[in-house]
Chain A
Amino acid sequence: MNGTHHLYSRSGSAIQLTASSLILALAPGCGDDEGPSGPTTEQALEYTTDAVIVPSVLAFESSTIDLNDRVTAFCAAPDAPGLSSLQQAWVELSLDWNQAVIYFFGPLRDDLIVPSMLFIESKRQRGRDFTETVREGIDAAVHGSEALDASYFEGLPFDEVGLLALEILIFEDTTEAHSTESGDVLSEYEAEPRKCEVLRGMSELLLGRARDVAEGWTSDFEGTGTSFRDRFVAGELEDGDDPTATLFVALLDHLGYVDQRKLRGTLDARVAGIFYDNVEATVREVSAALEGGDGEGPSFFDVMIANGAESDVETIREAVDVALEIATDVRSRQNMSVAVQALAESIRARVPPALDIDLGIEFADGD
């Protein structure tokens, strides 16, 4: 990605930059050597956890509840307003998920090989697009005769369920053309009662996952009787890792995923047509994690500023602004990719020294 790309400033005027020039421009400056006199990283972690992370996880759970309620209402009497309401609920759910997913540790990473996260977003593992797998599974369920009971849904593999399955069910029909016309989608629900059974089953399955993740963060993590929130802010992670480093590693990892597996691979939410909205949601969540949301703080940025890294904070904010502008206005894959890379590099270079955390060293291709 070393080509020249057109980005747009806040005023809308075109500017030119390359990935390398943008990354260089965002390289760390020299902070002063004064010792910290403000809030600590530990305080910022606790505040961010309570003001940003847990609310995002709960918002995701709340959206799954809302979707589930609308599924119930729609299936009781399928009609056009009900379908529209359902589609809007899926969009909200997807946006909330694209905020919560950046916290891929703890309850979302409850299993090394097949974590809960995969049952929500199958693509997240390594960017593989399971759209056709999902379509085939839904088609077989809708037009088959197998009992669509709880055991059927609980036995489904991760690549046939989750947000993608709900997107396919809600936004298109099961014909070979995969029509997304609302009339076609609605007609199928009216003609095939089993499709609503599949929809209900998938929705409840996702709701169960969302509740498990929320419960893990707020009350009981993996049957320990302790919330992951408490263990996280107390620095009591099972593997002995520093929680702040864990947070930023996850955050950078997700930005890398968005760039490499989505922007330079296969876009998600293509049927619903909200890919860039998802990216925007992710960037806003990254920003919130740094800024501490809308609250009083102390945020990680507050700690960085107290440690003399105010210019670094401003540079990261600029990178966020550029990324948001492209996600909302420009909507170019190449530009979005450059901006996400630049945001990630800016955070990687500037946050660890300012917060005194260790994110590891580079193990490059060929080493």
Chain B
Amino acid sequence: MKGSGSNGFGRRTFLARLAASGALPAVLSRCGGEAARVGLSEGPVILSARGDRTDTFGLAAVDAADAVVRVSSGFRGHDVTLHPVRSSEALLFGRRPGFESIAVDLRSGEVTARLQAAAGRSFQGHGVFDPDGSTLFTSEADLETAQGKIGVWDGTTYERLTEIDTAGLGPHEILFLPGSGLVAVANGGLLTRPETGRQVLNLDTMDSSLVYLEPESGRVAEQVRVSAPKASIRHMDIAADETVVFGLQVQREALDHDHIVPLMGDHRLGGVPRLFEDSPEVVALFRDYVGSVAVSAWYGVAGFTSPRGDVAGFWSVADGRFSGVVEFADVSGIDAMPDGDRFVLSNSRGEFRMVDAQTLEEQPDQRRRFDGMRWDNHLLVSDWPLERRT
């Protein structure tokens, strides 16, 4: 379960699903012309960045009855995470290079805090809390050098306290590993500059790595690289045994061959990164691009999406074997449901699809569409009320 995995609450959330608690939220919501009704219903809630222009950018939360809480951000968001302690607070991180992120109260629908990037820094789209919610870590980069930074923020006041070097360029997704207390960072290794936008300037020398940092000292506990030199580690999730499962994006223009490069893999602290070599014909469908990663802890299955290939593929975490693939136009968001039995997929056309985590077959009768909504790269599923997660 991605969002939970990201903040270290995955298995607790997963096991606590039956714990009933909390009052119903009181947010007025409206979906596609439906009559407004009060609050999000108890049960699984999907949160995602949304929108395709300034007036539609924001965060949305959707419950099982299709009630929607929409919050405008004014900037294009990327990933979402939940505050581990504040029962209705979610954070939306600015897409790289972002200069703002927001904290949102899902009961009131209000923006409760705006986090501004420090001078000379930009947000890179992802962030994660430590398990007690006292500290927030955000992936950031030096605007001039692209040197990776982890912004360290007070988890209560959202005051930026300090920063940690990530030992690489262009960090993207970050995770907190509750067992080891380390922060895992995907250093994409790509150099971009504000004046040239998203153009990659260091294809010849790019150096992507997966780094584990001690959050208190900033010390690099471990740094590993994958064997594919032009593959950029971008997205990750944590399996039940704290194996970090990651997805890659290949800079094809930097390669002098047209062979298929594995895009999925995993790593455990102290080990060697493993690339999933199985089923290259399926990997080819991803077109060198993984947009998001999520693990179903219950079934030990990792899901990967590719909006370029219009597919979501699934590999076994235990042995790295390919397990299944589904087609879904422009799919990027993926997470496991709180009970672990299904994956949720989202796309930029405002659609959700469910995939059975055991059979890995899509469930057509569970399809949902939210007209006018455009789900961006990542989604997160959690039980509502959020207290139920603990």
Please tell me if the beta carbons of A365 and B52 are within 8 angstroms of each other in the complex: no
CB distance from B328 to the nearest CB of A (A): 8
CB distance from B283 to the nearest CB of A (A): 10
Q: Which of A253-274 contact B (CB under 8 A)?
A: 264-266
Contact with A along B299-336 (1 / 0, CB 8 A): 00000000110010000000000000101111010000
Please tell me if the beta carbons of A360 and B281 are within 8 angstroms of each other in the complex: no
A245 to B330, CA, bound (A): 12
> Is the CB of B138 closer than 8 A to any CB of chain A?
no
Q: Which residues of chain A are near B95, meaning CB under 8 Å?
A: 367
A367 to B282, CA, bound (A): 21
> Is the CB of B83 closer than 8 A to any CB of chain A?
no
Q: Which residues of chain A are near B52, meaning CB under 8 Å?
A: 361
Contact with B along A323-367 (1 / 0, CB 8 A): 000000000000000000000000000000000001011011111
Q: Which residues of chain A are near B234, meaning CB under 8 Å?
A: 366-367
CB distance from B192 to the nearest CB of A (A): 7
Please tell me if the beta carbons of A360 and B377 are within 8 angstroms of each other in the complex: no
Please tell me if the beta carbons of A363 and B332 are within 8 angstroms of each other in the complex: yes
> Is the CB of A10 closer than 8 A to any CB of chain B?
no
CB distance from B294 to the nearest CB of A (A): 16
The closest CB in chain A to the CB of B232 belongs to A366
The closest CB in chain B to the CB of A238 belongs to B364
Please tell me if the beta carbons of B348 and A367 are within 8 angstroms of each other in the complex: no
Please tell me if the beta carbons of B258 and A249 are within 8 angstroms of each other in the complex: no
Contact with A along B28-66 (1 / 0, CB 8 A): 000000000000000000000000100000000000000
> Is the CB of B367 closer than 8 A to any CB of chain A?
yes
Please tell me if the beta carbons of B377 and A367 are within 8 angstroms of each other in the complex: yes
Please tell me if the beta carbons of A364 and B198 are within 8 angstroms of each other in the complex: yes
Q: Which residues of chain B are near A127, meaning CB under 8 Å?
A: 258
Assess A358 versus B190: contact at CB under 8 Å? Given A240-B367, A265-B258, A365-B198. Answer: no
Please tell me if the beta carbons of A112 and B329 are within 8 angstroms of each other in the complex: no
Q: Which residues of chain B are near A249, meaning CB under 8 Å?
A: 329
Q: Which of A202-259 contact B (CB under 8 A)?
A: 239-241, 245-246, 249
Please tell me if the beta carbons of B232 and A113 are within 8 angstroms of each other in the complex: no
Q: Which of B330-387 contact A (CB under 8 A)?
A: 330, 332, 347-349, 367, 369, 374, 376-377
Q: Which residues of chain B are near A239, meaning CB under 8 Å?
A: 327-329
Please tell me if the beta carbons of A241 and B258 are within 8 angstroms of each other in the complex: no
Please tell me if the beta carbons of B281 and A126 are within 8 angstroms of each other in the complex: no
The closest CB in chain A to the CB of B281 belongs to A113
The closest CB in chain A to the CB of B282 belongs to A113
The closest CB in chain A to the CB of B330 belongs to A360
Please tell me if the beta carbons of A366 and B96 are within 8 angstroms of each other in the complex: yes
Please tell me if the beta carbons of B232 and A360 are within 8 angstroms of each other in the complex: no
Q: Which residues of chain A are near B190, meaning CB under 8 Å?
A: 365-366
> Is the CB of A129 closer than 8 A to any CB of chain B?
yes
CB distance from A84 to the nearest CB of B (A): 34
Q: Which of B127-182 contact A (CB under 8 A)?
A: 170, 172
Q: Which residues of chain A are near B200, meaning CB under 8 Å?
A: 365-366
CB distance from A181 to the nearest CB of B (A): 30
> Is the CB of A156 closer than 8 A to any CB of chain B?
no
Contact with B along A18-44 (1 / 0, CB 8 A): 000000000000000000000000000
Query: Which of B12-20, B236-244, B268-276, B284-292 makes up part of the contact surface?
Result: B284-292
> Is the CB of A175 closer than 8 A to any CB of chain B?
no
> Is the CB of B265 closer than 8 A to any CB of chain A?
no
The closest CB in chain B to the CB of A129 belongs to B258
Please tell me if the beta carbons of B188 and A363 are within 8 angstroms of each other in the complex: no
A230 to B347, CA, bound (A): 27
CB distance from B164 to the nearest CB of A (A): 21
Please tell me if the beta carbons of A363 and B349 are within 8 angstroms of each other in the complex: no
> Is the CB of B125 closer than 8 A to any CB of chain A?
yes
Q: Which residues of chain A are near B249, meaning CB under 8 Å?
A: 365-366
Assess A367 versus B96: contact at CB under 8 Å? Given A239-B329, A360-B348. Answer: yes
> Is the CB of B2 closer than 8 A to any CB of chain A?
no
CB distance from B78 to the nearest CB of A (A): 7
A113 to B280, CA, bound (A): 10
Most A-side CB within 10 Å, residue of B52, B327, B330: B330
**Complex partner residue of A361 from B188, B367, B369, B374, CB under 8 angstroms:** B374
Q: Which residues of chain A are near B260, meaning CB under 8 Å?
A: 126
Known interface pairs A361-B376, A366-B188, A367-B78; 6 further A-B residue pairs with C-beta atoms within 8 A, sorted by A's residue number: A246-B329, A265-B258, A360-B374, A361-B374, A363-B348, A366-B96
The 7 residue pairs across chains A and B that have the minimum distance between CB atoms: A360-B330, A360-B348, A361-B348, A363-B307, A128-B258, A361-B52, A113-B281
Residues of B at the A interface (CB closer than 8 Å) are 52, 78, 95-96, 125, 170, 172, 188, 190, 192, 198, 200, 232, 234, 249, 251, 253, 258, 260, 281-282, 284-285, 287, 289, 291, 307-308, 311, 325, 327-330, 332, 347-349, 367, 369, 374, 376-377
12 A–B contacts, CB within 8 A, in A order: A126-B287, A128-B258, A239-B329, A241-B329, A245-B329, A246-B329, A265-B258, A358-B349, A360-B330, A363-B348, A365-B198, A366-B188
Residues of A at the B interface (CB closer than 8 Å) are 112-114, 125-129, 239-241, 245-246, 249, 264-266, 358, 360-361, 363-367
